[in-house]
Amino acid sequence: MDEAERRPLTAMIDRAAGPPDCAAYERMGGFRGVRRALSGMSPGDVIEEVTKSKLRGRGGAGFGTGPKWSFVPKDPASQRRKYLVANGDEMEPGTFKDRLLVEGNPLQLVEGMIISAFAIQASFGVIFLRGEYHRGLECLENAVLEARERGWLGENILGSGFNFDIHVHPSAGRYICGEETALLTALEGRRANPRSKPPFPQVGGLWGAPTVVNNIETFCNIPHIIANGADWYLGLSACADGGTKLYGVSGRAKRPGTWELPLGVTLGEIMDRAGGMQDGYKLRAFLPGGASTAFLGAEHENIVMDYGTVEKAGSRLGTGLAILLDDRTCPVGMIRNLEHFFAQESCGWCTPCRDGLPWVERLLNAIDEGEGEQEDMDRLADHVRLLGPMGRTFCAHAPGAIAPLASGLALFREDFEAHIRERRCTYQDAA
């Protein structure tokens, strides 16, 4: 297997040359998946192949893609309007993988959405893109326009009788738009508040119609699964789940960035690509999958980065992009910064999130500025207990926000205690 076959998502990406146009994409094997799906497979066949591939959602939750599609009612597209939505609202701190895909090879996303829409019999798709991704927006709009001109989008694609088109929607902002039901509410022109479930979007989503929402990286895997088969895709992985993963590193690494590697490599292998820690710094802990995951200590520096292993260690793989905490950075200040973000980005729809997160931020501000009291540790622990468990809020924003705080209180309690006792941050002395 050559290097391009091992890197299906990024093999066509050449940042210097820019994204390929339709002709170049087709010469490199693009749209083979669409041809196979529309000419020789039924919608059920596509869902079965994706299920067999063990592709899990790459947006953070890690739910099985094929099983998620199977919940959509099986009515033909002509009988019921259905929607397909690509979630590109990449506002998770420390995460930048989808930007690479939309700027490097947007037609791969378009192809993945065509196949996915055929599988669930959706007639219309939306790419919901982070508003700050101006270059990505330009690339996607050009790709959709050219695909439409060349007959890959529109009516009767490849003479199959299947109709599908895509609209690119730049987000107006807010982190909460990355939550799938809040995203759908925003698309409907309303305030981006999450919805209670059920009904789940696959049954009652955009404007009440069956809707599937998947992450951009998830969709980009689909053309390769259908073109090459589930067994080939499973062979790319280093674990039980299928495929490759875009892993990344931010923090005090020598070469922060993102790389496509087999799903299930170790953090040590990812850090080798990043050149290790910068000189004079040691790894103390890390968030394995973006800001809304729990800290793991340096003893996990060689942990296998797959969904099950990271979960057993007490965190989540999330988006697969690790945020490093070095031994010269104050963990209290880092957690304070994270909780400020989450408190600011809450939609305010439910009380625990709306009132609890600002209260957490105020407590952390006091501790970090030397005004904290010992009782504040108990108050923070109470907020972890009240906001952390799933099911107490409309969405996972509060539990995700609490994850770094809960793990931080366990791993860095001495640092919190020192701030309260010394009435200052001792890391400022080292700086």
Give pLDDT, residue 41: 96
Neighbours of 414 (CB within 10 A): 10
Give pLDDT, residue 94: 86
Sketch out the chain's domains with CATH numbers. 3-235 (3.40.50.11540), 244-326 (3.10.20.600), 331-430 (1.20.1440.230)
pLDDT exceeds 90 at position 78: no
Mean pLDDT, rounded, for 393-399: 90
For residues 192 and 174, the answer to whether their CB atoms sit within 8 Å is: yes
Tokens standing for residue 264:
């299930």
Tokens standing for residue 26:
């087709």
Paired residues of 214 in beta bridges:
86
Closest CA to 141 of 165, 178, 106, 117: 106
Separation CA 235–CA 167 (nearest Å): 34
Give the pTM.
0.94
For residues 125 and 84, the answer to whether their CB atoms sit within 8 Å is: yes
Greater model confidence, 65 or 394 = 65
Separation CA 146–CA 148 (nearest Å): 5
Q: Name the pLDDT band for 431 (thresholds 50, 70, 90).
A: very low
Mean pLDDT, rounded, for 44-68: 94
Q: What burial class does residue 39 get, using C-beta atoms within 10 Å of its C-beta: 0-12 exposed, 13-18 middle, 19+ buried?
A: exposed
The residue behind tokens 């005090």 is 252
Mean pLDDT, rounded, for 171-177: 88
Mean pLDDT, rounded, for 233-262: 96
Q: Name the pLDDT band for 3 (thresholds 50, 70, 90).
A: low
Q: Cβ contacts of residue 407 below 8 Å, gap of 6+?
A: 294, 295, 296, 314, 315
Separation CA 101–CA 136 (nearest Å): 9
Give pLDDT, residue 74: 86
Residue pLDDT, tens place only, 189-242 = 999 999 988 899 999 999 999 999 999 999 999 999 999 999 999 999 999 999
